[in-house]
Amino acid sequence: MDISTLNEKIQQESAFIDLMFSEIGKQIVGQKVMLERLAIGLLCNGHVLLEGVPGLAKTLAIKSLAQTMKAKFQRIQFTPDLLPADLIGTQIYNQKDGAFHIRKGPIFSNFILADEINRAPAKVQSALLESMQERQVTIGDQTFFLDEPFLVMATQNPIEQEGTYPLPEAQVDRFMLKVKISYPTRDEELKIMRQNLNPTEGSINQVISIQDIMKGRQLVKEVYMDEKIEQYILNIVLASREPAKYGLGHLEQLIAYGASPRATISLGMGVRALAFIRRRGYVIPEDVRVLAFDILRHRIAPTYEAEAEEKTSEHIIQDILNTIESP
């Protein structure tokens, strides 16, 4: 299939994405980046870690997304006393028939909001991350497969660090994207205030189906990505591991370890999904630059020297993007 035919096909088949965003727009003002990244996670069968202060419509966003396709949604508030059984379920003994019965936990949904994931102890975090990776849960001696689509949106509050259990780097790596969201603009905040003081918009209706998402996942794989873009992605990821080879010797003292192969896979899949969302049948270099921060910020670990110089992983990514030649 030539590029123009493929582009036309993708333009027609991706129309449901605009329909979905339009419906969510009834209740969410702005936050385009957050919604776009959630859609990327959904289309790539990945998960999203969100970092932002309270009150930025994180819960409303994923709940609204689930409502647009009438999917099952569960919000789990992570607290220090949470147990793995509270998440995945447990066996309950029934005295009447003298047998154990399975009671499934809230993980058995299509969309999971793991609110303040860093407030729960390591055992609970591990139970969630295993479900994310394996797409299955074992209770007793029985294994249950989770429904598709299955998307976990975990949130972290960047303000309070007391009483938190930071996610280990290897576990953070399992999130396809780590998205940082900020406050709305003045105009957006005015609209938010008016919308909440004088509610006029109705509730979110089902405008697409789960089948649309499953079909979209297959179509994303058809989006054309030139070999030059593939090499560009590889250069960016490898520069985080061996910066001196790419003319970034000054970063060697700032990077404890670079991005894993999961970063390469996620960036390759993510840019295709971004092109699909933006109604294109092909990937452009700008897609890589747009998504690089969300894919890499949690996969590049700065050293103590970097922290002393107040250099974050974002500064390192920016340096890499400024240096690596774009196709």
pLDDT in tens, 262-288: 999 999 999 999 999 999 999 999 999
Burial class (CB in 10 A: 0-12, 13-18, 19+), 326: middle
The per-residue pLDDT for range 2-20, each reduced to its tens digit, is 888 888 899 888 899 999 9
pLDDT over 60 at 86, yes or no: yes
pLDDT over 60 at 162, yes or no: no
Domain's final residue, options 190, 214, 238: 214
Secondary structure of residue 308 in the 3-state scheme: helix
> How many domains, in total, are found in the chain?
2
Q: Are residues 174 and 285 in the same domain?
A: no
Alpha helices by DSSP H, the chain? 3-13, 15-24, 32-43, 58-68, 84-88, 122-134, 169-172, 186-197, 210-220, 227-241, 261-277, 285-296, 304-308, 313-323
> What per-residue confidence (pLDDT) applies to 319?
93
Does residue 3 form part of some domain? no
Burial class (CB in 10 A: 0-12, 13-18, 19+), 22: exposed
Spatial contact of 289 and 274, defined as CB atoms under 8 Å apart: no
Residue 201: pLDDT band with limits 50, 70, 90: low
Name, in order, each residue with C-beta under 8 angstroms of 9's C-beta and a sequence gap of 6 or more.
1, 222, 281
Does residue 9 form part of some domain? no
The percent of residues above 70 in pLDDT, for the chain, comes to 95
Does residue 80 form part of some domain? yes
Spatial contact of 272 and 225, defined as CB atoms under 8 Å apart: yes
Q: Are residues 69 and 101 in the same domain?
A: yes
Across the chain, mean pLDDT equals: 87
pLDDT over 90 at 327, yes or no: no
Spatial contact of 210 and 110, defined as CB atoms under 8 Å apart: yes
Residue 131: pLDDT band with limits 50, 70, 90: confident
Secondary structure of residue 4 in the 3-state scheme: helix
Q: Are residues 89 and 209 in the same domain?
A: yes
The pTM for the full model equals 0.87
Does residue 5 form part of some domain? no
Q: Which CATH number covers residue 100? A: 3.40.50.300
> What per-residue confidence (pLDDT) applies to 199?
67
Domain limits for position 30: 16-214
Q: Are residues 143 and 201 in the same domain?
A: yes
Q: Are residues 142 and 178 in the same domain?
A: yes
The per-residue pLDDT for range 108-129, each reduced to its tens digit, is 999 999 888 888 888 888 888 8
Q: Are residues 228 and 248 in the same domain?
A: yes
> What per-residue confidence (pLDDT) applies to 95?
80
Does residue 78 form part of some domain? yes
Q: Are residues 135 and 237 in the same domain?
A: no
Average pLDDT, integer, range 49-77: 87
Average pLDDT, integer, range 67-80: 90
